Amino acid sequence: MTMRYYELGTTGIQVSAMALGCMSLTPAREGESRDAVRRAYELGINFFDTADVYGRGESERILGEALQVGAIAREDVVIASKCAIVFPGMEPDYEYKAYDLSPTYIKASCEASLKRLGTDYIDLYQLHRIDYLTHPAESARALEDLQREGKIRHAGISNYTSDEIRALSSYVRLESLQTQFSLLFLEPLERGLAAVCQEKKMNMLCWSPLHQAVLTGKVGLPHSDWQKQREAGVVAQLLPFAERYGLSLGQLALAWLLQLPGGVIPLVGTANAAHIEEAAAAVDVTLERDDWYELMVIARGRPMPWGQRPYAYVKER
């Protein structure tokens, strides 16, 4: 396996074509988590994504300690974190789940993340969810202040719509969008998110690229849930393709994402070193164009072209 690298947005920073999603780094699996970080780095993965709400800060702490224990130089890795989601109990002022992108909150969150990560700077600081009560110009000013202070190098967003990306990017340079994207979740293509990222020269970071492990074929899908049965039907149709290319189902699903232009980066969320090794092998795979489109049609459940609206899967009442 040879890891590929992309430029992160327009920053000049080279990041691996696959990133380790660190939500699975938990105190209950701390030793395993440290091993996973080390193995990811050995495989050429230099991009690590976490957030202040993952384990309410524990993921950041474990990632920072894993890099130090593994004697991995800070300048050899790219750390991404996020802020904005406030769960009850995280802050004394919040008794209900809220979103806060006010300058005061962004700056305080960044300081707390830096302390937990044990670092002086965060390479990519992402706004985790839109906050409707804060004007994008205010959030942009806070990000630029943090850049001037050297506490963050670059800014990105997570779970934003196309219009929300355009609104914020008119005030501050954004290098990436993190969004759900997989063969079983095609909205980034169908709703124009991929196109906006190409327009703005932003990387797209894909969370849940294996659709909560459904695309590995190792998850039982109940007959009582029609949506799960639809997913099971898609997985069954992917099997012949995986066999033809000599891949696991998960590798096939990751290779499909990796073939998209513009630096589309799957976030492989696991604390299992063996799973990281399996996933990393997908970077060497190139699918035939005909197969790539056939996989899309299978997953979409409706033929091309895009002028046809995809089916709206709405459960019966």
Cα 188 from Cα 196, distance rounded (Å)? 10
DSSP character string of 125-186: EEE-S--TTS-HHHHHHHHHHHHHTTSEEEEEEES--HHHHHHHHTTS---EEEEE-BTTB-
Q: What are phi and psi of 10, to 5 degrees?
A: -120, 25
DSSP count for the chain of H helices, then E strands: 11, 12
Element (H, E) at 255: helix 249-258
- Which one of 5, 6, 41, 54 is the catalytic residue? 54
Residues 210/185, Cβ–Cβ less than 8 Å: no
Q: How far apart are CA 218 and CA 103, in angstroms?
A: 44
Decide if 18 contacts 93 (C-beta within 8 A): no
Element (H, E) at 15: strand 14-16
What is d(CA 239, CA 235) in angstroms, rounded to the nearest whole number?
Answer: 7
Q: Label residue 106 exposed, middle or buried (CB < 10 Å: 0-12, 13-18, 19+).
A: buried
204 is written with which tokens?
Answer: 């797209």
Residue 245 designated active-site:
no
Active site (catalytic) residues: 54
